[in-house]
A and B are shown apart, each in its own frame.
Chain A
């Protein structure tokens, strides 16, 4: 009998997501439910959303609650646990996270389903997960899609967030990071025993759509396209992309660099390109989703993911699904499993340029990477990830 799981998430998949976390939750829960796992999934905010493969509950964190006193009490007790002395932006997140915990506490009192395992995704849900563990007295699995160390590239991690993460790791019976690189961070930076950490790489479902081509004007006149796609933040290494682009375009001038995404370093990325004298080789498309995003993937000759610190890097697999080879930084979870990819250190812009030029010059390299990586990702399905998660559940119940 497959176990019944209470899952705590923070966001859902497109169009309600801001990044890979929501997509991963959808991919994983869909695959788990196909294997007979009954899932009750609690999200903090109400979404206009119907899902048929699990029991979805909204905690309505933003609504005025009839249990304000109780919320207040809990927040005080949480505040004692986690020193909250950070910037206002983070403060909002931390307080939402604590509110979510309070809401979940109320919800669980009325929950009729029996639960065997609690499974929480990332730090924002950990306070709620710990509350749930106390109430239900069931084992806790925490899934780690990112940590404060990854998000900040190790620069000034927020202490409140760090504390919540550490507490969550300590309380959990099992910790599931999405890559070996992150397992090391959890071990070294959070002092957690490696025995309870089990890597579960993300999956991707191969369902490429045949979409009308984009950027055809450039392709017709023989330009090659190199793509950056992701948030434009310090974690993703946008400045290294610009520096490599500068070098590569000296050796292969007929190239356009397309930047898809948005973030707090967008302006800086543009001025770096301008300072390097190659802004005319750049196109900034802004944030894209759905078919528009897939069309950009399909138009590119190479997708470059120069992340400084990437827990997994699902975009690399999405690029492969769309038939475009990838050059990924060695500082990513996906580089640990994807063999048919070009790899370099994020800081080694010479090597990045060397590899970009090689793909642009040698058609056979692009073709071979495409053929072999497409073959390879059939091993990376969400079904495989779900099997690994299920075996963790079975060890605990």
Chain B
């Protein structure tokens, strides 16, 4: 003890291209930018693959071979798997190789990397199902641990995952609900029967994800030896240290020049130096360790910004109006039975679109700006709303076309805005 639980998020959205008012009604391809800008999804994915996914995968494969105790877990959005399948098979194969080792767990999430749980339970469930099917198709695995987009979590979500049969669910180990308690134990969500809760150790995770190359940080430079010591210091005071972060931490957020790959390469050796330590996957962790206490999270907690809420996605009025518009189309778009149309609608639900509209400039502004491919949050909003307006017109046309014909409907029973929306204070 303690056990190290590594989980890496693998996701790239399909960014909406510069889509202007003149394009509405004429151009139905929202995601096919092929310019030199950062709205070119294929270009971005190539860059991130070269800088991060491919070298990191190669490194991890070596570590899995070298250390029989080494284990990791990934969560892939369906949207990135689709992009891999289309243009980046080599990258997908390198992930498959890792999974073939048998020591890589894959988590469950929404196919479209959306915040659907808070807007429509039915839509959310559809997306989780699509994701499951995709993971089975590509990796031949059925995940048993759930993590929601942006690690957005509430008691309600835990209850849902419990009912759906998951063994564990992940969340941010945030002080507001933890209080004096440590994130380094397994917990039980309030109101759930069987499911267990794993909480991110945000201090140690962010030491890597955010502070690793920060020269003004008093711990810089961070060596794997030092980090291994910090982890071992938890011994006796915790059972599982959950290091959750974006996979792009390796090589993209922290460039190779910062030494992040060398750090990763040495990490297992430093951790395993202490005979009590080991590596563990989320489903092993909940099998191995007992529940320490019950955790009550009646409000939404995410892994973003200093607020750890949804304000980075739906904090301002343009974000709220954009997400509201998308979910207001649910009934109508599903009724069209038009697969492409429904898929485009779902791709517009990806949380990143709303993140790009964030105007929290002066507090967390720098982080937001780094991740924003648009010139400004307002430009992101304008392209998104124009595309959504086009989608609305397509829905109208599709309905006119199908009127009179006897088309079986996909799902129109009990479709309504879910009660979850009550969490989202206007």
Q: Which A residues are within 8 Å of any B CB, using their own CB?
A: 251, 339-340, 342-343, 350-351, 353-355, 357-358, 361-365, 367-369, 371-372, 376
**18 other A-B residue contacts (CB within 8 Å) besides A353-B21, A365-B318, A368-B318:** A339-B361, A339-B376, A340-B378, A342-B376, A343-B376, A354-B22, A355-B382, A358-B21, A358-B381, A358-B382, A362-B381, A362-B385, A364-B318, A365-B378, A365-B385, A368-B316, A368-B378, A372-B361
- CB contacts under 8 Å to A, within B316-339, are 316-318, 320-322
Question: Taking the complex as formed, is B20 at the interface, i.e. its CB lies under 8 A from any CB of chain A?
Answer: yes
Of chain B, the residue at the smallest CB distance from A361 is B385
Q: Do the beta carbons of A367 and B317 come within 8 Å of each other?
A: yes
Shortest beta-carbon contacts, A-B, top 7: A364-B321, A354-B20, A364-B317, A358-B382, A368-B317, A368-B318, A357-B21
Of chain A, the residue at the smallest CB distance from B316 is A368
- B20, B21, B316, B322, most chain A CB atoms within 10 A: B21
B contacts with A, residue count (CB < 8 A)? 19
**Inside 8 A of B362's CB, which chain A residues have their CB?**
376
Q: Do the beta carbons of B321 and A354 come within 8 Å of each other?
A: no
**Cβ-defined partner of A251 (8 Å) among B21, B318, B322, B361:** B21
**Inside 8 A of A362's CB, which chain B residues have their CB?**
318, 321, 381, 385
Question: Taking the complex as formed, is B359 at the interface, i.e. its CB lies under 8 A from any CB of chain A?
Answer: yes
Q: Do the beta carbons of A340 and B318 come within 8 Å of each other?
A: no
Question: Taking the complex as formed, is B413 at the interface, i.e. its CB lies under 8 A from any CB of chain A?
Answer: no
Measured CA separation A342–B385 after assembly (Å): 15
Measured CA separation A350–B382 after assembly (Å): 14
Tell me the minimal C-beta distance from B184 to chain A in angstroms.
39
Question: Taking the complex as formed, is B375 at the interface, i.e. its CB lies under 8 A from any CB of chain A?
Answer: yes
Q: Do the beta carbons of B21 and A354 come within 8 Å of each other?
A: yes
**Inside 8 A of A372's CB, which chain B residues have their CB?**
316, 359, 361
**Inside 8 A of A251's CB, which chain B residues have their CB?**
21-22
Measured CA separation A363–B376 after assembly (Å): 18
Measured CA separation A351–B376 after assembly (Å): 14
Measured CA separation A372–B362 after assembly (Å): 10
**Cβ-defined partner of A358 (8 Å) among B320, B375, B376, B385:** B385
Measured CA separation A99–B419 after assembly (Å): 77
Tell me the minimal C-beta distance from B286 to chain A in angstroms.
42
Tell me the minimal C-beta distance from A310 to chain B in angstroms.
18
23 CB-based A-B contacts, threshold 8 Å? A251-B21, A339-B361, A339-B376, A340-B361, A340-B378, A343-B375, A354-B21, A354-B382, A355-B382, A358-B381, A358-B385, A358-B386, A361-B385, A362-B321, A362-B385, A364-B317, A364-B322, A365-B378, A365-B381, A367-B317, A368-B359, A372-B316, A376-B361
Q: Do the beta carbons of B382 and A371 come within 8 Å of each other?
A: no
Contacts across chains A and B counted by CB atoms under 8 Å: 57
Tell me the minimal C-beta distance from A330 to chain B in angstroms.
9
- CB contacts under 8 Å to A, within B165-183, are none
**Inside 8 A of A361's CB, which chain B residues have their CB?**
385
Tell me the minimal C-beta distance from A195 to chain B in angstroms.
27
- CB contacts under 8 Å to A, within B198-246, are none
**Inside 8 A of A368's CB, which chain B residues have their CB?**
316-318, 359, 378
**Inside 8 A of B382's CB, which chain A residues have their CB?**
354-355, 358, 365
Tell me the minimal C-beta distance from B383 to chain A in angstroms.
9
Of chain A, the residue at the smallest CB distance from B322 is A364
Of chain A, the residue at the smallest CB distance from B375 is A343
Measured CA separation A371–B362 after assembly (Å): 14
Measured CA separation A353–B21 after assembly (Å): 9
Of chain B, the residue at the smallest CB distance from A369 is B378
**Cβ-defined partner of A364 (8 Å) among B20, B21, B320:** B320
**Cβ-defined partner of B22 (8 Å) among A339, A350, A367:** A350
**Inside 8 A of A367's CB, which chain B residues have their CB?**
317
Interface string of B38-53 (1 = CB under 8 A from A): 0000000000000000
Measured CA separation A26–B42 after assembly (Å): 53
**Inside 8 A of A369's CB, which chain B residues have their CB?**
378
Measured CA separation A94–B265 after assembly (Å): 72
Measured CA separation A312–B21 after assembly (Å): 30
- CB contacts under 8 Å to A, within B282-330, are 316-318, 320-322
Interface string of B366-394 (1 = CB under 8 A from A): 00000000011010011001100000000
Tell me the minimal C-beta distance from B118 to chain A in angstroms.
19
Of chain A, the residue at the smallest CB distance from B20 is A354
Measured CA separation A354–B322 after assembly (Å): 17
Measured CA separation A358–B379 after assembly (Å): 10
- A339, A350, A351, A364, most chain B CB atoms within 10 A: A364
Tell me the minimal C-beta distance from A14 to chain B in angstroms.
32
**Inside 8 A of B376's CB, which chain A residues have their CB?**
339, 342-343
Measured CA separation A339–B378 after assembly (Å): 10
Of chain A, the residue at the smallest CB distance from B369 is A339
**Inside 8 A of B322's CB, which chain A residues have their CB?**
364
Of chain B, the residue at the smallest CB distance from A358 is B382
Of chain A, the residue at the smallest CB distance from B357 is A368
**Inside 8 A of A342's CB, which chain B residues have their CB?**
376, 378
Measured CA separation A364–B21 after assembly (Å): 17
Measured CA separation A365–B321 after assembly (Å): 9
Tell me the minimal C-beta distance from B407 to chain A in angstroms.
32
**Inside 8 A of A339's CB, which chain B residues have their CB?**
361, 376
Tell me the minimal C-beta distance from B20 to chain A in angstroms.
4
Measured CA separation A371–B360 after assembly (Å): 12
Tell me the minimal C-beta distance from A136 to chain B in angstroms.
42
Tell me the minimal C-beta distance from B342 to chain A in angstroms.
24
**Inside 8 A of A358's CB, which chain B residues have their CB?**
21, 381-382, 385-386
Of chain B, the residue at the smallest CB distance from A351 is B20
Tell me the minimal C-beta distance from A379 to chain B in angstroms.
8
Measured CA separation A351–B379 after assembly (Å): 10
**Inside 8 A of A351's CB, which chain B residues have their CB?**
20
**Inside 8 A of B317's CB, which chain A residues have their CB?**
364, 367-368, 371
Of chain B, the residue at the smallest CB distance from A248 is B21
Measured CA separation A368–B321 after assembly (Å): 11
Tell me the minimal C-beta distance from A360 to chain B in angstroms.
10
Tell me the minimal C-beta distance from B320 to chain A in angstroms.
7
**Inside 8 A of A363's CB, which chain B residues have their CB?**
321
Measured CA separation A354–B375 after assembly (Å): 15
Measured CA separation A210–B46 after assembly (Å): 54
Measured CA separation A367–B378 after assembly (Å): 12
Measured CA separation A353–B24 after assembly (Å): 14
Measured CA separation A188–B381 after assembly (Å): 37
- A357, A363, A371, most chain B CB atoms within 10 A: A357
Interface string of B147-159 (1 = CB under 8 A from A): 0000000000000
Tell me the minimal C-beta distance from B101 to chain A in angstroms.
47
Tell me the minimal C-beta distance from B198 to chain A in angstroms.
37
Of chain B, the residue at the smallest CB distance from A342 is B378
Tell me the minimal C-beta distance from B289 to chain A in angstroms.
46
Measured CA separation A350–B359 after assembly (Å): 25
Measured CA separation A361–B385 after assembly (Å): 10
Measured CA separation A371–B318 after assembly (Å): 11
Tell me the minimal C-beta distance from A301 to chain B in angstroms.
15
Tell me the minimal C-beta distance from B381 to chain A in angstroms.
6
**Inside 8 A of B361's CB, which chain A residues have their CB?**
339-340, 372, 376
Tell me the minimal C-beta distance from A303 to chain B in angstroms.
15
- A363, A367, A371, A372, most chain B CB atoms within 10 A: A372
- B20, B317, B376, B381, most chain A CB atoms within 10 A: B317
**Inside 8 A of B385's CB, which chain A residues have their CB?**
358, 361-362, 365
Of chain B, the residue at the smallest CB distance from A372 is B359
